[in-house]
Chain A
């Protein structure tokens, strides 16, 4: 049977071959400069024959009569298809593909040419992302994309930053963007196990026509990550490595007392004011041994001489506590990647190891990552497979970002300079009140380790069915498992201090598992009619499921011979107090969607785009489950108009507008907040149940309408490129925790009562100021102005939240405190403002006002300078946030004198008020230091974010190494700011001894084999 078929086929082929008339077509391929291009694949549409151009760009191909077109393709050039007709010679000028990244916008569901794009998006390319010594990729984007605000709240390696696209659009829920990696969503805020070097591009989607395609997930903008893929041609092997170190930022605005100053302060201010007690055994040598002390006067001359001697010897001690807690952290990164492939199959794979020590003792991150990307193509099927796996181990500091003496950063600055770390060689001077020594001991006798595995898989298959219609499916999974352990040594001070748990240390293991699945399946249509009407459309169904589990177990009574293992735990009972603490949680949610996206372009000039989407979420009650949203966009590519052909000023000119609705699935504060529910309670250990959630049948998703108008122009032969967008984002149905009558058994209820508005302007401008011969100098600037206002809170007008307030008419994040005017020169008392702004010395929280700014910046942006000359390259990046006000809680400790006297003070406190007539910023000693507007500081900054310089050596053909680049860089080199705390850049409204962002210096080499 098989033979028969084979014979028939051969016969058929013979018949066809005999009837067809083969022809030979020749031609030459040149690039835009007229230079011949070698290695271009030439394939006819009958798929029979193919060839490649020779060194002179010439080709010769035999085609059958069935062949209608020839296509010319190459790695570095745009693919061109030409109809054959009756021609025997087809010469082609092909254009380079290297601008391609600039020209398309990846929206995840679609890839749009920028000339036909109706939305607002910014792109950051791999060149700007690679090799920056930051573990969490989103921080690398700072200053790179207008309207994208990145604020890192911690210099602990691997910690994620706060990310807002075009401001904050939620009051109590999530306001961070959606992250899509190769078509599948990845968990926000967990990036430390991903290798940023694997990313080819990052597209930041900001408006309805782009982010709006994501419907209920799109309200906060979308960050699209595209990982690298192999290119047809020779297999490329690359090694990249860098080494360097990180160090603490310079604290030029914070001056604390040294030993001499502190002793003088004790003797002249604290002691006489009666704050530290009487006699000469207060423990404060500056007072105990001071001639100002009445006890000194009463002493015998011999005792007095002894006091003076003791004071002198104390003066010899000048401990630099920050030097003890901060360090130069080493940095190392190695990466090996390979890519390449054939027309049918390409691959990219990479392996990396990353090791970064934090600038505070104990802090570090080790990371190992793998990526394997595969693309294959047949006549009708294209498939892409994206896989990544990463494992990282992070060691944290104690009580990070907490006003706690265990926090080494607090301890380093609060401890007195005349104290010492060791009381005897290698014996740390721990004990009650020994702030820094205790913290240092704690750093060494406890652990806080967190391992993280993150794996991702995204598979996209597309099958051409018929006339531009194809079937497409993307399926992905994002998996993350954190496994943390904590140990407190029972033998040391920290372990003994666990009074409620038996004073014998602890051991804890906890895990968090997070899995997201996505499946997007449907039909795609792409066709151009009459060469003028171009239609792209897709209709898809999408299923998303998120699952998470957490569990934590802490045991006590650690056997001293078994450090740092759960085997050391002693079973607990009521008398030994070693009762273990165990707990955890599980959650699940899902979204089911149907959506269609379509756009139409007429003659390359006019583009209209629309999307409609129905999302059904598990997180709202049935009545509000259907969430239907639509978006519209239009753009006019003016440059294609006839009247523009005559001018030669502009090379690009487009205007764009979009409008649409999206919703915020991250706005929910719990998975089932709408259901009235019971949870576990207990009556003295006997199990019980209690109502835990009042439920809300009117619960709905937060939504928003965003309007965007923008333009893109390029002039001076595209050497100047400008993009600007104005937008208005109206968010409504925002969750507000509205207080309810306590007679209901509950304190508050989440209701969809809030509304806020963000208006702003984003721009970016780049200019190739010098572009001749081998020298290219590009300068660029980008930024976003933003104005946020809360427009409604339902039945409420304001919700005070500690030192901040949510209030109608003022921006989100507004500070709420009592106004401070200064120190009264006559009385030495602090002068505050009453509710009307008038001076008063009476401090009352009833005089809190919302007039001291917000921690959300009014302007964020960046500026860059890039120079390349022959093999040399230089890149400089500045980033900035302006109009930021933050509450500096640290000042309270440096300035309060009626308490907290055991802590070090600002040097300027030596100028505190003493006598009537003294004009000073520091009130009389031993008067209450209140929280006031004095603590709200301008945290605006300009930061020299990154400077990188390198030189690339190219070798002659045939050598094992094709090229290599050596380079060096500095990260966070300098910061201009008025802020007096550690780091003006932070993710929240209040400074509480957070881990500052480090300065990092590295040198590296990239070797291409």
Chain B
């Protein structure tokens, strides 16, 4: 009996210890949602989708494109704090600040984070129950948005980091990422060919187009129109000229160009509503994400100027009749980039939504495609269409040569899409050198022309990626 008692005591003691141990050490995080519990309901899915949009820092490509190409000149004097110096003067190396994680130009890291987060929504969200028909269509829409974001992030990476200047199907592009990485410690992917990436982009956009209902019209997210815009971009990049024409036809019918009268409001209204202008897709910026603002790339809160508009760019405009000149620039008290606000201006905070896609881009893309397809009158008509909607009293002189047309179209893109992250890629896909006006280079002769033979013409894979993943391989020269 005594022995039995003792056994009971030992048992009770052990059981108490065990339960105590579980209570003490089997804890769930408080400030963190375990990944397997993060996306379980439609409400979770909604917040996870928001998280993906919030990840995309679009100003980074804008900064890279403006800095490396011919859209800006650097600040001067004591107010200039060396922002963009290495980029602008083509002195960057693979671990320059411009490519690092979290830095202004860290496009690689940022866009792969977008892709990873979109992939997580697609995979973790697959199990989310959809009790009602509304839920089913909403989930389809979310998945369509994620596929489209994944496609467009891949396209941006392909344009930035491909080993060749122009699209080359068999040459190396970037890493294709269609699932989220489960074992990051050992994951060291090699790059895929440009065609593999382009095919995936095309496929993702096609799926997205069927998943997103046409009634969804929040331009702060990816609508069906934006998916079509993405299709134009990948077609243009891969030189599928007929594709460019077909998709642009589709989109222009849905969201036509904004006219001269309506144009300034696109740039002065901080938040545009619905599909009422030619803005097809934008990323929202509010007081809660002031770090995302584009205007603060050029001027800081104390008005110190880090970049001014390139004289080369300003000189391409008719400063009186072209609505774009007065909208994009200020010339008093000094030359300023005004596309996303400027200082001094009362109440200026640089908080403006970032335009990701506008119909103008696609009209010019179609013009280029028509020219390439040797439909020169149609090409010329598109050029005329755009200019008529920008220049007061514009009288068009038809252009009849293909080369002249393409040159005119590229110049028009330079003017229309400046500071929208397109210029560098337009030059690259045409294998054109970067040339600057001598007045823009601050006396540094080596910063005037960057031939495509210079390895700096192609961006380096960030050193941090290469260090963690040697399989990715570096671009030539770095």
A residues near B (Cβ < 8 Å) are 499-500, 541, 543-545, 574-575, 577, 579, 585-592, 594, 616-618, 625, 671-672, 675-679, 681-696, 698, 738-749, 751, 846
Contacts and interface: CB of A to CB of B under 8 A. Distances in A.
B117 A740 contact: no
16 contacts: A586-B30, A592-B24, A616-B25, A617-B25, A675-B32, A682-B50, A684-B289, A685-B287, A689-B51, A739-B464, A740-B469, A742-B112, A742-B113, A743-B112, A743-B189, A747-B464
Contact of A684 (B112, B180, B284, B301): B284
Contacts of A675: 29, 32, 34-35
Nearest to B45: A689
B288 A743 contact: no
Q: Which of A590, A618, A740 has the most CB of B within 10 A?
A: A740
Contacts of A499: 301-302
A689 B113 CA distance: 13
Contacts of B284: 683-684, 686
A774 B416 CA distance: 97
A684 B220 contact: yes
B120 interface: yes
A274 B44 CA distance: 61
A677 B287 contact: no
A912 B51 CA distance: 56
A734 to B, nearest CB: 16
B459 to A, nearest CB: 14
Q: Which of B44, B112, B292 has the most CB of A within 10 A?
A: B112
Contact of A741 (B53, B101, B472): B472
A693 B33 CA distance: 10
B384 interface: no
Contact of A683 (B51, B188, B465): B51
Q: Which of A685, A689, A691 has the most CB of B within 10 A?
A: A689
B184 A694 contact: yes
Nearest to A683: B54
B216 to A, nearest CB: 16
B117 A745 contact: yes
Q: Is the interface of A mostly helix, strand, loop or mixed?
A: strand
Contacts of B31: 585-587, 679
Given A683-B50, A741-B188, 4 more contacts: A543-B24, A677-B35, A683-B54, A738-B185
A747 B24 contact: no
B344 to A, nearest CB: 13
Contacts of A749: 184-185
Interface string B203-230: 0000000000000000010000000000
Contacts of A591: 24-25
A691 B117 contact: yes
Nearest to B22: A592
Interface string B117-159: 1001000000000000000000000000000000000000000
A586 to B, nearest CB: 5
A625 B17 contact: no
A53 B465 CA distance: 83
Contacts of A577: 287, 349
Given A683-B50, A687-B47, A678 B33 contact: yes
Contacts of B7: none
Contact of A672 (B29, B112, B301): B29
Contacts of A743: 112, 115-116, 175, 177, 181, 187, 189, 465, 469
Interface string B69-105: 0000000000000000000000001000000010000
B30 A690 contact: no
A739 B468 contact: yes
Contact of B32 (A543, A677, A683, A738): A677
Interface in B1-52: 17, 20-21, 23-27, 29-36, 38, 44, 47-52
A594 B13 CA distance: 12
B462 A742 contact: yes
A745 B47 contact: no
A934 B217 CA distance: 61
Interface in B421-477: 462, 464-465, 467-469, 472
Contacts of A691: 35, 38, 116-117, 120
Contacts, number: 199
B55 interface: yes
Contacts of A683: 50-51, 53-54, 284
B108 interface: yes
Given A678-B33, A690-B55, A745 B288 contact: no
B35 A741 contact: no
Given A590-B25, A594-B17, A742 B117 contact: no
Contacts of B286: 574, 684-685
A587 B54 contact: no
Nearest to B46: A688
A744 B33 contact: no
Contact of A740 (B175, B177, B185, B302): B185
B455 to A, nearest CB: 17
Contacts of B55: 681, 690
A594 B14 CA distance: 11
B109 interface: yes
Nearest to B464: A739
A575 B346 CA distance: 12
B201 to A, nearest CB: 16
A860 B277 CA distance: 72
B25 A688 contact: no
Interface in B236-294: 283-290, 292
Contact of A592 (B21, B109, B120): B21
Contacts of B36: 676
B51 A742 contact: no
A689 B45 CA distance: 9
Contacts of A671: 29
B50 A688 contact: yes
A687 B50 contact: yes
Contacts of A616: 21, 24-25
A672 B25 CA distance: 11
B35 A695 contact: yes
A541 B21 CA distance: 10
Q: Which of B27, B34, B101, B288 has the most CB of A within 10 A?
A: B27
A500 B287 CA distance: 10
Contacts of B185: 696, 698, 738, 740, 749, 751
B53 A688 contact: yes
A677 B17 contact: no
A679 B375 CA distance: 53
A676 B184 CA distance: 11
Contacts of B220: 684
B387 to A, nearest CB: 34
A678 B35 contact: yes
A618 B32 contact: no
A692 B29 CA distance: 13
The 6 closest A-B pairs by CB, nearest first: A745-B116, A688-B50, A684-B284, A688-B51, A739-B468, A683-B54
A744 B465 CA distance: 11
Contacts of B35: 675-678, 691, 695
B302 to A, nearest CB: 7
Given A616-B21, A677-B29, A742-B462, A690 B34 contact: no
A739 B24 contact: no
A682 B184 contact: no
A306 to B, nearest CB: 28
A846 B467 CA distance: 15
B174 to A, nearest CB: 9
Nearest to A672: B29
A583 to B, nearest CB: 11
A749 B188 CA distance: 14
Nearest to A902: B78
B436 to A, nearest CB: 25
A378 to B, nearest CB: 25
Given A543-B24, A739-B468, A574 B287 contact: yes
A355 to B, nearest CB: 38
Contacts of A686: 50, 54, 284
